[in-house]
Structure formats: structure tokens, C-alpha cells
A = this chain, B = another copy of it.
Amino acid sequence: MRADAKKNYEHILAVANVVVTKHGANASLRDIARKAGVGLGTLYRHFPTRAALLDALLRTGFDELTAKARELETASSPDDALVSWLRDVVTFTGNYQGVVAAMTAAMEDTESALHASCVTLRTAGTRLLTRTQAEGLARTDMNGDDLFSLAAALAWLGDQPSSAPRAEHLFRIIASAILSNRASGD
């Protein structure tokens, strides 16, 4: 990558971080290009899709969450590790309003630039869940997809002004559901 191109890339990303933090994952790309003082085509050259931009924006955070999962795997009891990590995931994605919808969409679309990151995240969660289940501390009728879905739902609730005030409480309700070690109960 040429030096000037790299500079543009970095600058667009920095501006995007500000704009997306403020206006959410559906922020105007035109607006980002404008604020970055760059042509609209330049933004598209570096980030051919919105998912590509979001992935570049979130990858550092995703990597940190993956690393965190590994630490927790040895440092904490299984149930504490799972809940603590889940909280981190929800908190992080909650920083970017609307990003969780992009993530659930990317989960299904293997062509999405966000796909790999989401799969990595799900894998990390699955490991923590499996470990907790093995100790009989989490319900066994759940898999990593369910965990990802519940995390996404909690993040989405955090985006809704009507639910946000009780987000922590809703988190605890769902966390307790995961940790109840019953078989598929109805």
C-alpha cells in the first residue's frame, strides 16, 4: 500500500470510529468521507462494503475479547468466566449502536467481511460454555449459537432506550437462565 493510501485508510478509520460511535452502525458513509476530507470513492476503495468498514473498526476489540476468553479459561471458575466474558461482549458491542444487527447478518453470510470475526467470537464463547456445561454449571441444552444469540439479544436491548435502564437486570436474568443446570426443561 502506498504511503498516501495508508494515511487515507487510517484517517477514514479514525473518523469512522467517531461517527459510528455517535450515530451508530448505519451512519452515512458519505458523511464519514466528507468528515475525513476524502472522496467518496476513496472510502469505497478501502472499504468496499459497510461490513468491511465495521470489521476494521471492531477487529481490535474482537481480538481483545478472544484473548480475554483464553485468560478467563484458566483464571476463573467456569461459570464466572462465562458470565464475565458475556458481559464484556455485550458491553463492547453496545458501544456501537446497531452493530449487533450487522453481526447477526454476518453470521449467516459467509461472504461478509464481518463473518470471520463473528465466527471467532462465537468459537471463544462456545469454549467457555462447553467448559461450564462439563462442570454441570450451565444448562446442557444450549450450544454456542444460542449463546451468541442471547449475547446479541442483550446487546440489542441495550440499544433500545426503553430497555437500556434495566439492561443490567435483564443481563442477570438471562445469565441465570444459562447457568441453571437443568436438562431441556419444559
Contact = CB atoms under 8 A, between A and B. Distances in A.
Interface string A168-186: 0110111011101010111
Contact of A177 (B148, B154, B173): B173
A160 B100 CA distance: 10
Report the copy number of this chain in the oligomer.
2
A146 to B, nearest CB: 6
Interface string A112-156: 000000000000000000000000000101100110111011101
A76 to B, nearest CB: 15
Indicate the size class of the contact surface on chain A.
35 or more
A41 B184 CA distance: 53
Contact of A142 (B139, B152, B173): B173
A155 to B, nearest CB: 10
A101 interface: yes
7 contacts: A108-B162, A146-B166, A146-B169, A146-B170, A148-B162, A149-B157, A172-B184
Interface of A: 101, 104-105, 107-108, 139, 141-142, 145-146, 148-150, 152-154, 156-157, 160-163, 166, 169-170, 172-174, 176-178, 180, 182, 184-186
